[in-house]
Every structure is written in structure tokens, then in C-alpha cells.
């Protein structure tokens, strides 16, 4: 077995691979970027190599940098995880040339399956059922339109090089074909640098059922049964389960056999997944499934297979890559119970699943019987815009589907997550829907339910009334000895007075309102705003997070004094733009600086960055020393405007608050 393993990936999958490699006695080597400083994956490895600032093209997708890291650390093998370079045949070859074992299939098998159209032709020849359609070389719009007509509408246009649902268009009527073709080609060109498409019949009531396969270097090929991944948004999987609801022994055997045939046809080795589309109309049938594509890597949803077989798929991958035979024969592979996985993404389902970024304030997943959490993040982790927005996976298993479902629902309901918006409430809504609960939904399920799954309740009234209550509670009781209390006639501002405190709810300007009466503030009733069942409050240094049913509202108080100073002085706090070391401080406290003058230099990624004064001013405070390692965003220099007294009006700013 290998003595050391470099994991060419990040986040939850890097951590998951490290776990198994370490158990098998390997030295683990992780990669990271400056944008991943706050991520746990690289700290858990025995060693970590920083390979870039942030953008994937210059880090996790850079074959050159990864090979250099492997050389520097003396790695013997490379595990690519999924995404990034995992299905890149060049990378597999480059690893071999560098004397490294690539934990994955041979480059030739990756190439054969890399093009959806070539893969389909190969599968047809091998006797594996494929969706009826055209997957040849010709690409003229007139020809493809004629093919679509022959296949019969609805049809699906797919990018030959596709992945992640991109470059895919469903067309229901002939008159829409040309426009759909154009836009599919554009998207395919943009995403994969290859505009070629294929046309196939759109399977109605389609269910995505895939088979996990494994092959070794000695000609053994087995399958580890199926996973149902039909709950998708925009052709991206959201929930996955094993076994597939409604699966018969007969169909399982037929699909397993077809998948093994597919793997054999391309000389496969290692872990792979053969994806099929099954016609779910009127229930699954042994002759109603078609090959879609083969993913030549470990899959995001592999934990559900691990749960129902009791096997460790990463261990199997490493054993196969090291030349060992498959640990079990087909008959010896167990299948028991049921497992469901939910993918937690930093995204906003209520605005088209737009990905979110920012610092995670809380990430507490419950431990429960039958619950596994593969998380890439902790409290304090910063989600950057550079990579896939998946944060964690929660996998629940049980004796049967009902038990797995109940456990998953309970685990997600008890998850406390604050920070960037997530799809947590969306996941809960799916699990609680009667359709998912009944089992066997098709891939149209999420779209068909629409807003029922994605709507976001307005938590702002609740947040505002809770804060008002809190202010009222903390207000000092009237002092009976004071001539000012009890004598309402003397109260400043009259008998009754409204107090409005400006605040931000989810970044929008709002006001906390209180009524001042009898010398005490009175707050509106919380219960009137919204039921507080299951409400959790999490506070960070600058905001309050209200969590309920997977939804979140963020309440913050702008600092009007700080802001008015900043506005007058320009940016008065100069921060480190990235993690690094302060190599030189160019100023001392009390110095006057002009705009553009050097404040300090920062060494990051072997480069020196000069940080200049954004505006003229005086150095009010130096918050770092030369040689110090600083975090991204750390305050280094505080400037104050030179003609401070003349320019700022703190009294007025304060006045603004109380008005």
C-alpha cells in the first residue's frame, strides 16, 4: 500500500479521503489556497501545500502546481476526489509520467466515457440500452431539427462534453428547436469549449437511477447496487438514496449487469458510476432504463452506498490503485437497510439558487443514531466565490426508508447553521412533502412543486419585535427617588414618544420601534409577529442570527458614528487584503501621510504587496508589528482625518439615532 497520498481537492471530500487514508496508515498531503485559509481540510492533513490565491484555474485545476506539490512532499499517489481534475485524462497521464499513482481509471477509459456521444455509440455496440436519439458527428441545425422530428418531441439537446446539467435544453415543440439549439451550443462552448450537441428523446417521468461499479486491474468487475438521484434542481442532484424506491430484484439485476457490461467495454478500473435514466411512468420496468453517461470517478453521493453495503469506497479505490484484487465478489456484497443523503449548499433557493458567500458563524450538525455528517466547514470558515458551493452532506440510514427519512429530517431540523444563506429549509421542505415521503418521485418533482419548496418567509417582523422586547427588558427601571420618574409631565419629549432605532435585516434598512410611555419603553408583542417555535438565536460580534426551520434572518446595527467618520475620511481603517506576513511598516503612530503613501508591505504567496494610504490623514494607531502573520481582513493601520474637528459631526450623527 502507498506510504503517502496527496489529495488534489478541497472541502468535505478532501477530509473524507484523509480519514480513510490515515486509517490505512498513509501520510496525507492536502492542498489549499489563500481563499481556503479558514477551511479545515488542509489543517487535518499531515502536510499542506498552498498552491494559489483563489481562482480554481490557477490552483485546484493547475496540473503543474499539483505535480510540483506532489514532488515537493514526496507523495506516492494522488486522489483527485470529484469535480476539478477528477475526470481529466491529461492529469491522469501527467501523474503517471511523474511516477505517481493516479487513484482512478486509466486515461483511455476516461476518454472513452468523456464524450457523451462516443460513450453512447460504444454502449450501443456493447449491448447496453441507450436513450433513442442522434449522437453522431453532424451538427447542422437543419439536420438536427430533422432528427428531433424523427425522434419525436419532447426531445433533450445535450452538450457532448456536458456535465453538471450545463448545455442541456428540453424542447417540447418543433418551433422552439432552433432557439434552444443555439442557446445550448452557446452554453456548451462557454462551459466546455466544445459546442457539439446530441439529441435524444426526453424520457417522460424520468427517474435518475445510477449503479456504482468497481473494477480491479485483474479483470474483476462488480456493482454495488443502485442509487436513486431523482430529486434534482436544474439537473443537479439534491437528495440521493439507496435502494431506489420501487426497485425490483429483476430490474436491479438487469441494471447491474448492464453497468458491469459498460465498465468492461472501456477497460475500466477503480470506482465508477453508470448513470441511467429510467422511465418511471407506471412504475419501474425491467426494460425501461437507458444508459445516460458514466462518471469515471468517486461520486458525491457515494456515502449512501457505503451505508447500505457497510463498505468504505475510498479504501476500495486505494486498494485497487495499489494493484490489489477487489476485496469482495459480487455475491458477497451486502445490501441492507436504507440510506438518504442531503446536500447542504451555500445558496438561496428563493432567488434561483444563487450561490452565497461569507463567513460561517455557526455550523452545528447533530450526531444521532444512523446519522453521518461529511462536512467541509466549521464555524469561522469563509465561503469564497471561487468553488462549488456545497458545504456538507448529511446522510441518514435506518432499517427501512421510513426510519432513514425520519432520522434525516430530525438531523436537518436540529442543524444550527448561521452565515451565508443555505438550502437547509428547502431540504426540509422536500423531506416533509407527501410526494417524497411516498417515494419514487421523478426528476420533475422540484420544478413541479415550485414555490412550495423554495419560498422564504419574512422573518423581519419577528426579528424587529424580538429586539424591541430585548431593549425594553434592559431599559433601567424608573428610580422612585428621582424627581424625573413617575412624573410623566416632566418627561423629556412629552407623555408618549416613539423611539425608532435604525437597523439592518438581511442587509435592508429597517427600524426597531418602541413606544415610550410612563417612563418605560413598551415593545410590540412578539407572538403577534410570528410563532417562535424552534427559534434559535446565534450572535456574532456584529450581528444577530435568527434561525427557524432552516431559514435565517440576520439583524445588524449600523454604526452611524463609525460610518460618518469613515465617510468623511474615506476608508479610515486599512486592513490586510489577504493572509500573509507584514514585512515592513512604512509609518509610525502620529505620522501624517498623503494619499498613495506606503503604509506597509505584506508578503503573501511569495509575493510582496504594497498597501498604500487610501486618503491623507494621521496614523492614529498601528495594530500590527513587523514580521507578524496576519489574517485576511485584519486591521493594520487606523487613520484619522487631519482636520477632524472641523469635518465630523458626531453629535449630529448621534442625534440621527435617537430621532
- Report, as residue numbers or ranges, the catalytic residues: 297
Beta bridge partners of 629: 581
Q: Are 529 and 462 a contacting pair, CB within 8 Å?
A: yes
Residue 609 partner contact from Mg ion, ligand ADP, none using kind-dependent CB cut-offs of 5 to 8 Å:
none
Q: If 0-12 CB within 10 Å is exposed, 13-18 middle and 19+ buried, where does residue 489 land?
A: exposed
If one asks whether residue 241 binds ligand ADP (CB under 6 A), the answer comes out as no
Torsion of CA 235, 237, 240, 244, to 10 degrees: 10
Q: How far apart are CA 211 and CA 277, in angstroms?
A: 11
| Shortest Å, Cβ 548 to ligand ADP | 28
CA-to-CA dists, residue 36 to 27, 40, 70, 643, angstroms? 21, 8, 19, 41
Alpha-carbon span 123 to 109, nearest angstrom: 13
What is the Cα–Cα distance from 650 to 604, expressed in whole angstroms? 38
Residue nearest to ligand ADP according to CB distances in the complex: 83
Q: Are 498 and 471 in contact (CB under 8 A)?
A: no
Site for ligand ADP in 153-172 (CB under 6 A): 156, 158, 162-165
Q: Which three cell numbers stand for residue 45?
A: 492533513
Report d(CA 19, CA 17) in Å as an integer.
5
Residue whose CB is less far from ligand ADP, 268 or 516:
268
Q: In this complex, which beta carbon is closest to ligand ADP, that of residue 157 or of residue 637?
A: 157
**Interacting residues with ligand ADP between 260 and 289 (CB under 6 A):** 275, 277
Question: Which one of the spans 80-88, 308-316, 347-355, 493-501 is the region binding ligand ADP (CB under 6 A)?
Answer: 80-88
- Looking at beta carbons only, is 165 or 502 nearer to ligand ADP? 165
Rule CB under 6 A: is residue 83 a binding residue for ligand ADP?
yes
* Minimal distance, residue 293 CB to Mg ion, in Å: 5
- x-marked contacts with ligand ADP along 123-152 as a string, rule CB under 6 A: --------x---------------------
**Relative orientation angle of helices 560-569 and 650-658, to the nearest 10 degrees:** 140
**Binding-site partner at residue 209 among ligand ADP, Mg ion, none, CB < 5 to 8 Å by type:** none
Q: Output the nine-digit C-alpha cell for 322.
A: 495499489
Member of 12, 76, 187, 200 binding ligand ADP (CB under 6 A): 200
Under the binding rule (CB under 6 A), the answer on residue 292 touching ligand ADP is yes
CB of 284 to ligand ADP, least distance (A): 15
Distance (Å, whole) CA 566 – CA 559 = 10
Q: By C-alpha distance, which of 80, 328, 375, 95 is closest to 212? A: 328
Tell whether residue 293 is a contact of ligand ADP (CB under 6 A): yes
Least distance CB 164 / Mg ion (angstroms)? 8
Nearer to Mg ion, 36 or 275 (CB): 275
* Shortest CB 8 distance to ligand ADP, Å: 11
Strand partners, 102: 78
Binding residues for Mg ion, rule: CB under 5 A, are: 275
CA 322 to chain centroid, in Å, comes to 31
Q: 3-class SS at 658?
A: helix
Exposed, middle or buried, 471 (CB in 10 Å: 0-12/13-18/19+)? middle
- Told to check if 30 binds ligand ADP by CB under 6 A, we report no
Closest separation in Å from C-beta 637 to ligand ADP: 37
Nearer to ligand ADP, 57 or 651 (CB): 57
Q: Which residues contact 603 (CB under 8 A, 6 or more apart)?
A: 580, 581, 583, 609
11 lines the binding site for ligand ADP (CB under 6 A):
no
Region of 142-150, 202-210, 326-334, 583-591 interacting with ligand ADP (CB under 6 A): 202-210
Applying CB under 6 A, the residues found at the interface with ligand ADP are 56, 82-84, 131, 156, 158, 162-165, 200-203, 206, 208, 232, 235-237, 275, 277, 292-293, 295, 299-300, 388, 390, 443
Amino acid at each position: 500500500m502507498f506510504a503517502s497520498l496527496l489529495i488534489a481537492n478541497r472541502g468535505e471530500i478532501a477530509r473524507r479521503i484523509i480519514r480513510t487514508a490515515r486509517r490505512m496508515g498513509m501520510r496525507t498531503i492536502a492542498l489549499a489556497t489563500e481563499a481556503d485559509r479558514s477551511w479545515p481540510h488542509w489543517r487535518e492533513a499531515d502536510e499542506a501545500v498552498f498552491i494559489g490565491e483563489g481562482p480554481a484555474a490557477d490552483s485546484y485545476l493547475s496540473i503543474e502546481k499539483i505535480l510540483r506539490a506532489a514532488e515537493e512532499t514526496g507523495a506516492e499517489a494522488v486522489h483527485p476526489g470529484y469535480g476539478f481534475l477528477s475526470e481529466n485524462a491529461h492529469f491522469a497521464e501527467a501523474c503517471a509520467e511523474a511516477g505517481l499513482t493516479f487513484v482512478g481509471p486509466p486515461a483511455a477509459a476516461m476518454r472513452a466515457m468523456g464524450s457523451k456521444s462516443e460513450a453512447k455509440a460504444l454502449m450501443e455496440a456493447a449491448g447496453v440500452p441507450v436513450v433513442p436519439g442522434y449522437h453522431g458527428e453532424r451538427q447542422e441545425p437543419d439536420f438536427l431539427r430533422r432528427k428531433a422530428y424523427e425522434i419525436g418531441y419532447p426531445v433533450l439537446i445535450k452538450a457532448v462534453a456536458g456535465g453538471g446539467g450545463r448545455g442541456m435544453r428540453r424542447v417540447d415543440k418543433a418551433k422552439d428547436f432552433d432557439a434552444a439549439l443555439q442557446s445550448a451550443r452557446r452554453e456548451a462552448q462557454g462551459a466546455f469549449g466544445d459546442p457539439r450537441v446530441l439529441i435524444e428523446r426526453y424520457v417522460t417521468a424520468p427517474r435518475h437511477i445510477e449503479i456504482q461499479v468497481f473494477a480491479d486491474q485483474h479483470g474483476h468487475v462488480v456493482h454495488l447496487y443502485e442509487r436513486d438521484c431523482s430529486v434534482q434542481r436544474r439537473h443537479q442532484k439534491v437528495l440521493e438514496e439507496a435502494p431506489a424506491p420501487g426497485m425490483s430484484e429483476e430490474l436491479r439485476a438487469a441494471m447491474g449487469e448492464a453497468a458491469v457490461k459498460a465498465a468492461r467495454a472501456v477497460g475500466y478500473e477503480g470506482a465508477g458510476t453508470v448513470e441511467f435514466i429510467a422511465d418511471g411512468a407506471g412504475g419501474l420496468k425491467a426494460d425501461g432504463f437507458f444508459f445516460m453517461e458514466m462518471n469515471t470517478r468517486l461520486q458525491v453521493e457515494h456515502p449512501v452506498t457505503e451505508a447500505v453495503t457497510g463498505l468504505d469506497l475510498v479504501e476500495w479505490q486505494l486498494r485497487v490503485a495499489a494493484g490489489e484484487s477487489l476485496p469482495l465478489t459480487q455475491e458477497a456484497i451486502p445490501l441492507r437497510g436504507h440510506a438518504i443523503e442531503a446536500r447542504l449548499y451555500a445558496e438561496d433557493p428563493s432567488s434561483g439558487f444563487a450561490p452565497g458567500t461569507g463567513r460561517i458563524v455557526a455550523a452545528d450538525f447533530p450526531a444521532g443514531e444512523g446519522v453521518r455528517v461529511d462536512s467541509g466547514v466549521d464555524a469561522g470558515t469563509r465561503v469564497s466565490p471561487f468553488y462549488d458551493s456545497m458545504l456538507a452532506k448529511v446522510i441518514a440510514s435506518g432499517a427501512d426508508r421510513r426510519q432513514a427519512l425520519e432520522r434525516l429530517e430530525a438531523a436537518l431540523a436540529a442543524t444550527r447553521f448561521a452565515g451565508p444563506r443555505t438550502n437547509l429549509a428547502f431540504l426540509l421542505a422536500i423531506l416533509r412533502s407527501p410526494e417524497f415521503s411516498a417515494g419514487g418521485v421523478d426528476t420533475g418533482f422540484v420544478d413541479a412543486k415550485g414555490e412550495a419548496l423554495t419560498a422564504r418567509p419574512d422573518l423581519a417582523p419577528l426579528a424587529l419585535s424580538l429586539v424591541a422586547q430585548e431593549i425594553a427588558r434592559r431599559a433601567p427601571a424608573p428610580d422612585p427617588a428621582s424627581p424625573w420618574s413617575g412624573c410623566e409631565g416632566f418627561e423629556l419629549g412629552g407623555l408618549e414618544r416613539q423611539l425608532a432605532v435604525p437597523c439592518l435585516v438581511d442587509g435592508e434598512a429597517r427600524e426597531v420601534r418602541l413606544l415610550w410611555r410612563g417612563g418605560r419603553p413598551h415593545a410590540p408583542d412578539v407572538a403577534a409577529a410570528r410563532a417562535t417555535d424552534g427559534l434559535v438565536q446565534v450572535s456574532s460580534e456584529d450581528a444577530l442570527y435568527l434561525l427557524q426551520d432552516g431559514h435565517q434572518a440576520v439583524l445588524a446595527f449600523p454604526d452611524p458614528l463609525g460610518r460618518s467618520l469613515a465617510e468623511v475620511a474615506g476608508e479610515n481603517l486599512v486592513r490586510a487584503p489577504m493572509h500573509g506576513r507584514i514585512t515592513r511598516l512604512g509609518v509610525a503612530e502620529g505620522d501624517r501621510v498623503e494619499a498613495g503613501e506606503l503604509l506597509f508591505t505584506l508578503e503573501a504567496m511569495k509575493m510582496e504587496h504594497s498597501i498604500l494610504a487610501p486618503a491623507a490623514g494621521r496614523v492614529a494607531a498601528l495594530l500590527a508589528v513587523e514580521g507578524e502573520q496576519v489574517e485576511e481582513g485584519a486591521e493594520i493601520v487606523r487613520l484619522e482625518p487631519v482636520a477632524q474637528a472641523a469635518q465630523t459631526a458626531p453629535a449630529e450623527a448621534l442625534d440621527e439615532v435617537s430621532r
